[in-house]
Structure 1
Amino acid sequence: MSVIQSYRSLSDAQKGRARGAPAYSIYVNRPLGRVLASVAHAAGLTPNQVTLVSAAFTFTGIALLVAVPPSLPLGVIVWLMLAIGYAWDSADGQVARLRGGGSLVGEWLDHIVDSAKIVSLHVAVVVGMYRYVEPLEATWLLVPLAFAVVATVTFFGMILNDLLRARLGVGQSTQTGGSSPLRAIAGLPTDYGTLCFVFVFWGWAPGFMALYTLLALAAILYLAAALAVWFRKMNALSGVQA
């Protein structure tokens, strides 16, 4: 199947939008992933191979934060590595759909890579700041550490929600509602694509820390609201009064 044929076939093989999915993920990352998936499928790559390509870009960008002193050119490179890795992350599932469906091991590998990148990106910020930013108030290191905790709990919460709902035969978020344009735009502060772009300012410490801290606060507020909603829904599904 050619690239063009693969691309056209994907129009009939797209999954639904997750409820509350943010704008970058919907309007930028998934279309980019569709192009990459078409190329990968035409080249004969498997979904797992696409996942590994995604990981190679992502963890190259993360490693640069630790290994190379900050600069504006480096920030652009890191952003591109993370953004390209994110696009390839969208492509693996689309390749799986082109091939007739994903596999258990493919889903496992995808989630393992995602969980590793979510925490390691913020750990790399801690290490990079500690190594290269002077003078640095030690309290600023608490921001990426808190961000790592919040991002990890949020990711695990979403995975656990779908796991427990599936056990009861309840549809996942992609099956139970879409995301309006207004809601998608409102979700930009919590979008991984937005976080990737902030690294453009990696060589300008005050600007980077201001934007990064705002995103950390948005992530904290989102998790606080999400936990309340998730608990209420789980309580309703279990039939147990808290």
Structure 2
Amino acid sequence: MATDERRSYPEALERLTAAQKPGAGVPAYLRWVNRGLGRRAAAVAYVARWSPNQVTAVSMLLSLAGMVVLAAVEASVVSAIAASVLLLAGYALDSADGQLARLTGGGSVAGEWLDHVIDAFRLPLFHVAVTVYLLRETGSLALAGIGVAFSVLASAWFFAQTLAEKLAPGASDGSTDAPVWVSFAKLPYDVGVLYLIVLTAAWPAVFLSAYVALLVITAAVAVLSMGRKYRGLARSKVAVAAHRE
């Protein structure tokens, strides 16, 4: 691609819109809000000639900033809004890097690996920030332990999903044909919802109630999802070398 090529935001946005992934079966916030925000951010990054990896890096920096505000700043309406906005902005850019890679043809295996590694850090770290917040606001180790439990669950589920995709890349759960209501049914364990409830962090009791509810729902769905993936892999024809000690 020529370095003197003129790039326009409207053209980039039009091309990105035409190249969107199917939305069926995708959680509602990710499907109708986050991908749209990411698309606009990717168009801006394209005009500014940023690389997908640069967008990934800024995404993680924004997420970390939101976590620091949540964990270290005294709970207030202002700090809650700031933390939530930073986390949601980081989430939007997490969608933008892949869209920018498709637009520029600059995607690579290394870039995809980096994106997955950043994601593997991002969500567990969010729950660590929640753990610190809960300990500071409630003074209870037991309540703070809820954040630790959610961190372990998030990390294990992310690994299980990613590994299943790598072991059986051709497998499909049929989500591309899912009706619209499925996206709303998946809303409670959409990462965007986790970041939205940070808006209630000025009121620890309200935040804790919402957080525990999401933990229970996420745990139930994770158990069902991992069981389904295990059964699917057990039925698959994919063979791998065994290296058990």
So what's the TM-score if we normalise by structure 1?
0.91
| Distance of 2:130 and 2:98 partners within structure 1 | 29
Query: Structure 1: where are the runs of 5+ without partners?
Result: none
| Distance of 1:146 and 1:75 partners within structure 2 | 22
Match of 2:10 among 4, 20, 23: 4
CA RMSD of aligned residues (A): 1.8
Match of 1:162 among 162, 165, 174: 165
Report how far residue 125 of structure 1 moved: 1.1
Regions of 4+ moved over 3 Å: none
Give the SS at the match of 1:15: coil
Residue pair 1:75, 1:203 contacting (<8 A) in 2 also: yes
| Distance of 1:46 and 1:239 partners within structure 2 | 35
| Distance of 1:160 and 1:186 partners within structure 2 | 24
| Distance of 1:180 and 1:46 partners within structure 2 | 35
| Distance of 1:94 and 1:45 partners within structure 2 | 12
Report how far residue 178 of structure 1 moved: 4.3
Residue pair 1:82, 1:196 contacting (<8 A) in 2 also: yes
Report how far residue 16 of structure 1 moved: 2.9
The 1:49/1:179 distance shift into structure 2, 3 A limit, reads: farther
Report the equivalent of 1:133: 137
Report the equivalent of 2:46: 41
Residue pair 1:165, 1:172 contacting (<8 A) in 2 also: no
So what's the TM-score if we normalise by structure 2?
0.90
Residue pair 1:83, 1:193 contacting (<8 A) in 2 also: yes
List per-residue Cα deviations over 1:192-229 (Å, max 9, x = no partner).
00000000011111000000000011110011110111
The 1:207/1:156 distance shift into structure 2, 3 A limit, reads: same
The 1:101/1:164 distance shift into structure 2, 3 A limit, reads: farther
Alignment of 1:146-161 (within 5 A): 146-161=149-164
1:73 is aligned to 2:78:
yes
1:121 is aligned to 2:120:
no
Report the equivalent of 1:58: 63
Report the equivalent of 1:15: 21
Report how far residue 100 of structure 1 moved: 1.9
Greater RCO (CA < 8 Å, at least 6 residues apart): 1
1:84 is aligned to 2:89:
yes
| Distance of 1:128 and 1:98 partners within structure 2 | 39
Report the equivalent of 1:197: 196
Report the equivalent of 2:210: 211
Residue pair 1:165, 1:171 contacting (<8 A) in 2 also: yes
Higher mean alpha-carbon deviation, 157-166 vs 175-184, is at 175-184
| Distance of 1:46 and 1:100 partners within structure 2 | 11
| Distance of 1:93 and 1:172 partners within structure 2 | 21
Letter in 2 for 1:153: A
Q: Percent identity of the aligned residues?
A: 34
Residue pair 1:195, 1:212 contacting (<8 A) in 2 also: yes
Letter in 1 for 2:217: A
Report how far residue 176 of structure 1 moved: 6.7
